[in-house]
Amino acid sequence: MRVRFAPSPTGALHIGGARAALYNWLLAQGPEHATFVLRIEDTDPERSTKENVEQILDALRWLGLNWDEGPIFQTNNTARHQEALAQLLASGHAYHSTAGKAEVDAYKAEHGASAGFRGTPEASGAVRLRVPDKPATSFDDAVRGEISTPNASMDDPVIARGDGSVLYNFAVAVDDLDAQITHVVRGEDHISNTPKQLLVFEALGAPQPRYAHLPLLHGPDGKKLSKRHGAASVQELRDAGYLPEAVINYIALLGAGFAPDEELFSAAELAARFKLESVSKSPAVFDEKKLRNFNGQYLRALSSEELTRRLEAFTGHPNLAPAVEISREKIQTLRDFWPLAGFIYDGAGHDPKAFDKWIAKDPARLASARETLAELPEWNLTTIEAALTALVEGSGAKPGQVYQPIRVALSGTTVSPGIFETLNVLGREESLKRMDQALDRAG
Ligand code: GLU
């Protein structure tokens, strides 16, 4: 089994493209041990810049989707495309024609609107493939079943322009043939290209690959997945702080047809279970909320050392271990970390509403907490917790009335990791200093 992912490098790798890459990769990792070929379809010189190619490779690497062969660059296959074109012209499977839209329209006016255009060979002009005089071009799609197009309704497709450069569907078929691809797994948007590509295989006398067209991805509102739904590309998911293993797990499930009660899988488990024949025909829903939830579970399953390493890489900030330890239960993504715990390093922020409500209105609450803490003979989690719990009980206040003023003094806002843990990590001196600053500000 040989499979391929063949992106056109137009910018970021979209989630739909990532899923196509992943399904190919799963076939390579799974019981079939397919060989995974990466082909970059870089024939559009304006969009296929070095940066755009690098972005695709980078996204695949980040996801851990390694390929076995390639990247093959489609533009390097030009000589081979010309050779195949010459072969078809020589064998009579293709012919030169100057016919353009006007001639095609005239043909249809004469033969009926649904009649496929048939040209008359000329000495020069574009090249058209002769659609064979057979009832239909059919294939058994691994996902969608039998798909059949009557040959009589297909125009003889243009496979090369007047200047000799070949068209997309021709190049794809020749490249798939040369790479000996046995299974083409790609997005449903390519379904209408398949009959033309099959005709190229047929004309070259080559065996046709099996096709599997993956259903589209929709947002939770049932509309085609786009930026409106949040992150739409792998790069955006990375920037949003998702872990590659959570992304892989989540997008693998989109339409894979696994039992709904099975959810968290390692890549190896996904590969062991994945079957093209089980892929669902209907659109799958990409719901970022669900991915967030997956991500939180993956994140909590990491060791503290590993999570710290990833957060240090993500934030570019060293020595995060103590803050990570006290934040790990409260974050769902790597990006959630800094807004929650960054104040430990950056100093307290200032949310005027929180300050007015919890400190300015009644500074005595914070002052008495400060005094209690200042008297601690030892500063550790146990002594801090015991002292503040006693203060809550002794004062008859609600816990929030004691803890929120401290939290606002330390962080500037009403969100932080656990208050005892935060005090402990900040240390006595820094904690008291921040409380003093807040009391000064309250006047
Ligand atoms: N280059 C095409 C794309 O990025 C995919 C071609 C194919 O998979 O056959 O949409």
Assigned token pair, 264: 């968290």
Q: How many domains does the chain have?
A: 3
Q: List phi, psi (to 5°) of 311.
A: -70, -35
Residues 169 and 91 reside in one and the same domain: yes
First to last CA, the chain: 75
Question: Which of 148, 182, 217 marks a domain boundary?
Answer: 217
Write the pLDDT tens digit of every residue in 323-337: 999 999 999 999 999
In a shared domain, residues 35 and 122: yes
Based on the fold, state whether residues 85 and 201 are members of the same structural domain: yes
Would you say the CB of residue 317 lies under 6 angstroms from ligand 1?
A: no
Ligand 1 geometric centre to CA of 4 (Å): 10
The per-residue pLDDT for 44 is 87
Ligand 1 pocket residue status of 6, Cβ below 6 Å = yes
Give DSSP secondary structure letters for 68-93: SEEEEEGGGGHHHHHHHHHHHHHHTS
Q: Ligand 1: which atom is nearest the Cα of residue 176?
A: 9
435 C-alpha vs ligand 1 centroid, how far in Å?
A: 59
The CATH number assigned to the domain holding 436 equals 1.10.10.350
Strands (E) located in 254-336: 284-285
Q: Which of 189, 217, 245 is the last residue of a domain?
A: 217
190: Cβ below 6 Å to ligand 1? Answer: yes
> 172 CB under 6 A from ligand 1?
yes
Domain containing 350 equals: 346-442
Query: How do beta strands 94-97 and 126-129 pair?
Result: antiparallel
Centroid of ligand 1 to alpha carbon of 257 (angstroms): 23
256 CA distance to ligand 1 centroid (A)? Answer: 20
DSSP tag of 64: T
Check whether residue 327 and residue 405 sit in a common domain: no
Q: Is 51 left (phi over 0), alpha (psi -120 to 50) or beta?
A: alpha
Ligand 1 centre from 190 Cα, in Å? 7
The response to whether residue 41 sits with its C-beta less than 6 Å from ligand 1 reads: yes
Provide the Cα torsion 437, 439, 442, 443; round to 10°.
-100
Residue 405 burial (CB count, 10 A): 30
Asked if 28 contacts 34 with a C-beta cutoff of 8 angstroms, the reply is yes
9 in contact with ligand 1, CB cutoff 6 A: no
Q: Is residue 246 part of a domain?
A: no
Which residue in this structure is represented by tokens 């990247």? 71
Claim to verify: residue 35 and residue 146 sit in the same structural domain: yes
Q: In terms of residues, how long is the chain?
A: 443
CA of 369 to the centre of ligand 1 (A): 64
* Domain identity same for 360 and 410: yes
CA 404 to CA 353: how far, in whole Å? 13
User: How many angstroms separate the alpha carbon of residue 295 from the centre of ligand 1?
Assistant: 29
Show the CA angle centred on residue 326, arms to residues 321 and 332, nearest 5°.
95
Q: Let me know if residue 17 belongs to a domain.
A: yes
In b/e form, how buried is each residue of 60-74, taking b as 16+ CB within 10 angstroms? bebbebebeeebbeb
402 assigned to some structural domain: yes
The protein residue with its alpha carbon nearest to ligand 1, atom 6, reads: 6
For CA atoms 287, 292, 295, 296, the dihedral sign is: negative
**DSSP string covering 346-400:** H-----HHHHIIIIIT-HHHHHHHHHHHHT-SS-SHHHHHHHHHHHHHHHT--HH
Together in a domain, 331 and 413: no
Ligand 1 contacts CB of residue 186 (under 6 A):
yes
Residue 287 belongs to a domain: no
Cα of 145 to ligand 1 centre, how many Å?
A: 21
Ligand 1 atom nearest to CA at 187: 8
> Which atom of ligand 1 lies at the shortest distance from residue 7's CA?
4
Answer yes or no: are the C-beta atoms of 383 and 372 closer than 8 Å: no
Which residue, of 291, 313, 341, is where some domain finishes? 341
Establish whether the linkage from the previous residue to 9 is cis, with ω within 30° of 0: no
68 with 120, same domain: the answer is: yes
Give 136 Cα–ligand 1 centroid separation in angstroms.
Answer: 24
Instruction: With respect to residue 324, please indicate whether it lies within any of the assigned structural domains.
Output: yes
C-alpha 50/C-alpha 319 separation (Å) is: 36
Q: Which atom of ligand 1 is nearest to the CA of 4?
A: 8
Atom from ligand 1 closest to the CA of residue 5: 8
Q: Is residue 365 part of a domain?
A: yes
Distance CA 261, CA 263 (A): 6
pTM for this predicted structure: 0.93
Give which of 342, 341, 419 is closest to 387, Cα–Cα: 419
Q: Residue 168 C-alpha to ligand 1 middle, in angstroms?
A: 10
Ligand 1 pocket: which of 186, 188, 211, 216 to mutate (most atoms <8 Å of CB)? 186
Phi, psi dihedral angles at 185 (to 5 degrees) = -115, 115
pLDDT for residue 261: 67
Number of other residues whose CB lies within 10 A of the CB of residue 89: 16
* Whether residue 309 sits in one domain with residue 212: no
d(CA 5, CA 339): 38
* Closest-lying ligand 1 atom to the alpha carbon of residue 20: 8
Same domain, 176 and 131: yes
Indicate whether 324 and 415 sit together in one domain. no
pLDDT score at 27: 98
> Does the beta carbon of 96 sit less than 6 angstroms from any atom of ligand 1?
no
Instruction: Answer yes or no: is 248 within a domain.
Output: no
Residue 197 located in a structural domain:
yes
Residue 334: closest CA among 426, 421, 258, 239: 239
CATH, residue 150: 3.40.50.620
List of the chain residues with pLDDT < 70: 261
Write the single-letter amino acid at 316: G
Residues 402 and 416 placed together within one structural domain of the fold: yes
Which residue is closest in CA terms to ligand 1's atom 7? 6
20 C-beta closer than 6 A to ligand 1: no
Kindly give, in sequence order, each residue whose CB lies less than 8 Å from that of residue 430, ignoring residues fewer than 6 positions away.
Answer: none
* Amino acid present at 23: Y
